[in-house]
Structure 1
Amino acid sequence: MIAETVCSAVAAAGLGIAAVTAYRKRFLAATRLVAYSLVPLGLVMTGVVDWLADTAFSPTAWAGFGVLGASWLLFAGTRAVERRRGGTGKERGEARAARQREAVAPSASAPSLGPGSGQAKRPGTAPRADAGDDFSDIEAILKKHGI
């Protein structure tokens, strides 16, 4: 009962201030004040204020908030442990496989500098079939820009 009265008084005061602001030709600020003033009135009309007042004095509601907090702490704790370990068992296996692929990929995808460049030939790499195709995309970009 008191909460509804206070919210209604706050809304009325805000609307009065908005009227004075509008009288001073500051319509944007007045509109913003009207919007803020209508929030407590809307909360009273929807029953949120009654619900909050009942919740604030209910031991069951506070126990529920405690359970929700404990749940959040458990979720956060398990995420921290996962990050520290590097993920779950399945995720660790996938990460290990990705590291093995990365260990193989750099040597396979190294740029070919062509014969006689002074670079030692790596074992397991095949020579390129056509060296003219290497620069075809670069030539297309240069032609596009008129160079």
Structure 2
Amino acid sequence: MTFDQIAWLPLCIGVTIAGLALSFLAFRRRGAAAGLRTTAWALLPLAAYLTGALSSLWTVGATLVGFVTGLVFNPLVWSGVALTGLSVVLFVVSGVLRGRSAAKGAGPAKAKEAPRAPEGAAAPKGTATGKPAVEPPKKRTNDDDFSDIEEILRRRGIG
């Protein structure tokens, strides 16, 4: 059914009159605030017809209904949805595999970065124990952060 096949003016007037009757009842039973709110809702159908907004609302509604029914009842669309799901699963799996390969590759790479001196080899210059003169900074862990916080709290007398 198209927009032009419906007699909109009598329909909008009827809905508005029914709404005004309900607003009268709302005034009597629930007070002025409820009555005014119901009156405001009752006037909207006639206002939509008189401003021409009703045809725009009809077009939007018909387009949405056509889109949803085309989505639900079209097997070609469902195959596209299935392919989208497969693509998402493949992205997730590739990310997991990339994370595993990076974790496996990081272990041997660290071992290659810091070669050990043979036991019989002389200590590097500047140290008597074989340790480098300047130690590289240690990586901080969450435990170190919490111990710093605990130390600060102890110094302040808290805890």
TM-score, structure 2 length as denominator?
0.46
Greater relative contact order structure (CA < 8 Å, 6+ sep):
1
TM-score, structure 1 length as denominator?
0.49
